[in-house]
Amino acid sequence: MSRRAMTALVLALAGVLLAGLLLGETALSLSQYGQALTNPGSPPGEVLWTIRLPRALMAALIGGGLGLAGASLQGLLRNPLADPGILGVSAFAGLGAALAIAAGLSAVTGAVEAGALVGALASGLLVSGLAAKFREPEALILLGVSLSAMGGALTALIFNFSPSPVATAEVMNWLLGSVANRDFGDIGRAVVPMAIGAALCLWSGRGLTMLTLGEETAAMSGLPMARLRTAAVAGAALMAGAAVAAAGVVGFVGLAAPHLVRRLSGDDPAKLLIPSAVAGAILLTAADLLSRVLPSEQELKLGVVTALVGAPVFALVAWRAARSWRS
């Protein structure tokens, strides 16, 4: 990606973060913005620095992680329709959270998040093992789809047998995804797994580019492909799991972000990773902003907004892919 394009992406991210800080449900006057800047402890300061800023930063962090995870998996599986959801990581993270809520642990600080992370890690470990065993991307995709279906079915089973409609509503609400009411402590807890996952995905980049030429050429390239492949899956699972733990299930960002910057990156899977993270951060921060400023009685859930925007993107990508298969 050219330096100019990367600069434009970073500026766009700065722009949406600034908008996330300045815009929201509570309209502030110019003098109140001035008060927030000069006196962070004032009521407008509280709105800007303890409500909006961590929320916007959390959206950027989650979006960045999902964008990077999506780019990593698309490169690994050589499939433009891959995203963290396809490997079942999101479904199992959701299952972990649903189990925690059904077990009545939602009042325990961090229990639901921990449940989601454990679910994500369990499926991530399973998928990493499968990635080491099966080299063919198609096999991994099919196994991931079955894992995803299994995670969804078990979550539905919890709904089915849940004695409390309150707990069911709570699980549903959580699964819809949101970054509302997050503080810097939540960000701190999400940053660590995100950073480890990002490091793993970035390290696997050169292997992803080599995989462009197929498994056998990559295997003969001298790169430690088994380790790079495992790193890509584990990194993506860790980031997707951390994302679900922090914000519930937010779909389509991992799918859409890489497509927004693919051409600018010369279609090179390694060069696509960082721009996809920035694009994901922009997308989710903008989606969260949209969910806040759209006039509605109840705030739109983040997962709903991304799905409403992402589903047509998915359809468009599939349409283009189908056309290329036909030709």
> Closest distance between another protein and the C-beta of residue 227, in Å?
10
Contact 264, 108 (CB under 8 A): no
Closest to another protein by CB, 136 or 183: 136
Q: In whole angstroms, what separates CA 65 from the centre of its chain?
A: 5
Nearest distance from C-beta of residue 212 to another protein, angstroms: 4
Q: How far apart are CA 241 and CA 285, in angstroms?
A: 19
Name which of 80 and 110 has its Cβ closer to another protein. Answer: 80
Q: How far is CA 324 from the centre of its chain?
A: 28
Q: Which two tokens stand for residue 287?
A: 């989606």
Q: Give the nearest distance from C-beta 197 to another protein in angstroms.
A: 22
Is the CB of 196 or the CB of 206 nearer to another protein?
206
Please report how close the Cβ of residue 280 comes to another protein at its closest, in angstroms. Answer: 19
Considering the complex, state which of residue 154 and residue 317 has its C-beta at the smaller distance from another protein: 317
Residue 86 CB neighbour total at 10 angstroms:
23
CA distance 104 to 219: 48
Distance CA 260, CA 266 (A): 12
Structure tokens given for 25 = 């449900």
DSSP at 79: -
Measured from the CB atom, the residue of 132 and 213 that comes closer to another protein is 213
CA–CA dist 55, 178 (Å, integer): 9
Q: What is the C-alpha separation between 47 and 49, in angstroms, rounded?
A: 6
Q: How far is the CB of 220 from another protein (least distance, A)?
A: 5
Minimum CB distance to another protein smaller for 47 or for 225: 225
Q: Crossing angle of helices 89-102/165-175, nearest 10°?
A: 150
Q: Count other Cβ atoms within 10 Å, centred on residue 32.
A: 17
Nearer to another protein, 75 or 310 (CB): 75
Q: Contact residues for another protein (CB under 8 A)? A: 75, 78, 206, 209-214, 216-217, 219-225, 266-269
**Residue nearer to another protein on the CB measure, 33 or 206:** 206
Q: What would the two tokens of residue 47 be?
A: 């709105």
CA 40/CA 42 separation, integer angstroms: 6
Q: How far is the CB of 77 from another protein (least distance, A)?
A: 9
Question: Measured from the CB of residue 44, what is the shortest distance to another protein in angstroms?
Answer: 48
Could you tell me where the DSSP H helices lie in the chain?
Answer: 3-22, 30-38, 43-45, 53-77, 89-102, 111-133, 137-161, 165-175, 184-203, 205-211, 215-219, 225-247, 253-261, 269-293, 302-326
Residue whose token pair is 């030709």: 327
Nearer to another protein, 91 or 225 (CB): 225
Note whether 89 and 124 are within 8 A (CB): yes
Please, what is the minimum distance in Å from the beta carbon of residue 214 to another protein?
5
State in angstroms the smallest separation of the CB of 268 from another protein.
6
Which residues have C-beta within 8 Å of that of residue 134, sequence separation ≥ 6? 140, 143
